[in-house]
Each structure stands twice: as C-alpha cells, then as structure tokens.
Amino acid sequence: MTIKTLILHAAKYTGLFAMMRMATRKNPRILCYHAGSIGDERHYNPKLFCTREQLRQRLDWLKRNGFIPATLEQVSQSKAVPNGIPLTVTIDDGWYSTYRDLLPSLAEYGHKPVLYLHSEACDAGAPIIPVTLRYIVWKAGVPEITLDGYDADMDGVWNLADPRQRERLVGAAEKWLNARAPQEVAGCLERFGASLGISADELDLASRRFSYMTTEELREASVQGCRIELHGHVHVYLPGQPHRNRDNIELNRERIRAAGLPYPTHYCYPSGSFDGYAPEVMRAAGVTTATTCVPGLVDLQDPDARYYLPRFLDGGDVSMIEFEAEMSGFTQLLRSIVRGRQQPRRVLRPTTA
C-alpha cells in the first residue's frame, strides 16, 4: 500500500467517508467512462478502456451507499432526487464496446447515461487511428524496428525504447493513415501492425474494439434510454475561437439529428479543454449544460456553473478505495485543504487594444 491508500483506508474505517457523503448529499456527482474492453486493450490504456466487471463493482457500491440515478436536468436545475445522492453517468465518444459492455450493465442498475458523441469518427466507420496506432506500438514491445515501403516520413530505423521516437512514429503513421479513405484504414493498420510483429488476428480489428457504434446501434441505445449528446463533430475545443467552437457544435448536432436521434442540448468539452468564452458559446448554440474533466462535486452557486460541470474520470487506473473517496466527497475535502476550494480554471478572454 502507498501512503495515500493507507490514509484513505484509515479515513474510510473511521467513518469519514460516510460523514462526507452525508455532508455533501445535496451535491450531485457526475461520472465519466469511455469504452468497454473486448481484448487486452485495458492493459494498454486503463483510463480509456473499462471492464464490465469493474463497472458493475462500482455500480454495486454506489447502490449500497445511497446514490440515485439522476438526469442532467435534475443536476443542473438543482432538483432534488428522492432518498439519495444524485448521480449522472456520462460516456464519451461512442465506442462499440460501450454499446456491448457498458450500456447493458448501466440499464440493469437503473441508469440512463448520457453518451457524448464524436460524430466525425462515427460517420467514418473506421477504427480510431490514434488509439489503434498507440496500441500497436505498445503491443509490439520491441526496442527497434525498420520500416520500408510506407513514405519518406515513416521509412527507416526507429528506436522504440525512446519515448520521443515512439511519438514521432505514431505521428508520422497517423499522417499516413489520414491520407487514406476510411475503407482503407483497417487494412493499413493491419499492415503497420504486421511490420511491428503483430498479426491481424492479434490486432483483432474485426471485434470492433477500436471502432465506434454504427448509426443503428446509436438509435437502439437511444431507444433503451441512453441520451446521445454533443461532443463536437471534430474532437476539439479551440480556446479563444468561439465562432469555430459554435460551428463545431452545430455540425455535431446536425449529424446527430441526421442519424434520426433526438435533439441534443448537452455538451462535453473534448479532451477537457475550455475557456472563458464557453458560457456565451453554449448559450448561442442552445446548450444547457457542459461537462469538464475537472473532478469535484456539483455546486451551482455561480450562474455559469452549468457550463463548467465537474466530472470524475473513472477507469482501470483508479483503485476501489480511490473511487469510494472521490464519490464520498472525501477527496474533495482533501483538495480544499491542500489548495482551497476546487473550481475549474477558466481561461480568460484576451484583452483587445
């Protein structure tokens, strides 16, 4: 055990977790997940890929400790949830493994999660290039490779023991793949994997573990109670560029509506990037809430707080005791002690002459 986990266990068994849950019971919590785990990808990126078993362990604990499913409307309008601590579960991006592994368990426990859809990648229907490439390099585990027959940026000897060279290789391969049509991407990824000693069977793109849902699967998820909401058509929020950010949200909404899904009004900042323009961008785009990647308890005393909602990013790199501490509000107490009351840091608007 680390010193941190020893402190958390001591706090739990002396009743501090329970005390903090009681003290903060009116403050909603928002959880974030990304994808399930079909193969060994959870070992490569445990924050991104979460097993069904881990999710069910969390849901069991939440149910036993008085957390009640809540909608974003209830969270943002401070509407009380009878007999419990309000909890909203959100899921980013739109991974197929979310549909296969996470949504059924959430439904079983009575949650109607919010899925923030990255529509550009969903429309393409190809494996997600940056994630798959990094998985291939991780899986290969070799100190050095020689590539030939790709292009001038990729061909040559690569020292994969050097993190900088690994990133350069991934960047060059990403550029090479982005120049291909979506229907060519899977074959090109298999070729790249083979060059690093990973067979097509090992990469297992057919399982769709690195792909998003289809339109039909999104519609089925919606019918079953999952709300499909906004995450940008392009997976980016550009600080200081409100017009481009609003256009990105509007295009995202158009793609969601074109898929036959209900009108979306909630947004999640891609990669957690936001700025001081966010409230006016959200209001102009007809967005009612926006979630960050800053952990904490929901506090709506600030009129614009609904556009900077805190979320806890759970994953395989989070131990159960750390999860319990965060959801109980004890970790928030520690943050307050260490550096004052936690609030998402906003990037102020640039001054003009």
Beta carbons within 8 Å of 14's beta carbon, 6+ residues apart: none
Cα-Cα-Cα-Cα dihedral sign, residues 330, 333, 339, 345: positive
Residue-by-residue DSSP string for 177-229: HHTS-HHHHHHHHHHHHHHTT--HHHH-GGGTTTSB--HHHHHHHHHTT-EEE
Q: For position 346, what pLDDT does the model report?
A: 46
- Mean pLDDT score, 233-241: 97
What would the pLDDT profile of 51-71 be if each residue is shown by its tens digit?
999 999 999 999 999 999 999
Q: Which of 60, 87, 47 is nearest to 314 (CA)?
A: 47
Q: How far from the centroid of its chain's Cα atoms is residue 17's Cα? A: 26
Residues 53, 11 contacting (CB under 8 angstroms):
no
Query: Is 83's pLDDT higher than 80?
Result: yes
Q: For position 274, what pLDDT does the model report?
A: 95
Give the Cα separation of 351 and 349 in Å (integer).
6
Taking only Cα atoms into account, the Rg of the chain, rounded to an integer number of angstroms, comes to 21
* Ramachandran class of 235: left when φ > 0, alpha when ψ lies in -120 to 50, beta otherwise: beta
Instruction: Provide the residue type at 245 as one letter.
Output: N
> What class does CATH assign to 3-124+214-339?
alpha beta
Q: Reduced to 3 states, what is the DSSP secondary structure of residue 118?
A: coil
- Alpha carbon separation from 13 to 10, 18, 63, 143, 330 (Å, rounded): 5, 9, 19, 46, 13
Q: For position 294, what pLDDT does the model report?
A: 95
Residues 20, 329 contacting (CB under 8 angstroms):
yes
Give the Cα separation of 312 and 43 in Å (integer).
20
* Residue 253 burial (10 A CB sphere; 0-12, 13-18, 19+): buried
Q: Which of 68, 72, 65, 120 is nearest to 233 (CA)?
A: 120
What would the pLDDT profile of 144-199 be if each residue is shown by its tens digit?
999 999 999 999 999 999 999 999 999 999 999 999 999 999 999 999 999 999 99
- The residue extents of the domains of the chain are 3-124+214-339, 129-207
Query: What single DSSP character describes residue 297?
Result: -
Query: What single DSSP character describes residue 49?
Result: B
Single pTM value for the model: 0.93
Q: For position 337, what pLDDT does the model report?
A: 87
What would the pLDDT profile of 178-191 be if each residue is shown by its tens digit?
999 999 999 999 99
Query: Is 106's pLDDT higher than 80?
Result: yes
Q: For position 342, what pLDDT does the model report?
A: 44
Burial string for 285-305 (b: 16+ CB within 10 Å, else e) reads bebbbbbbbbbbbbbeeeeeb
Q: Which of 87, 71, 98, 73 is nearest to 26 (CA)?
A: 87
Which residue shows structure tokens 């190809």?
126
What would the pLDDT profile of 282-328 be if each residue is shown by its tens digit?
999 999 999 999 999 999 988 899 999 999 999 999 999 999 999 99
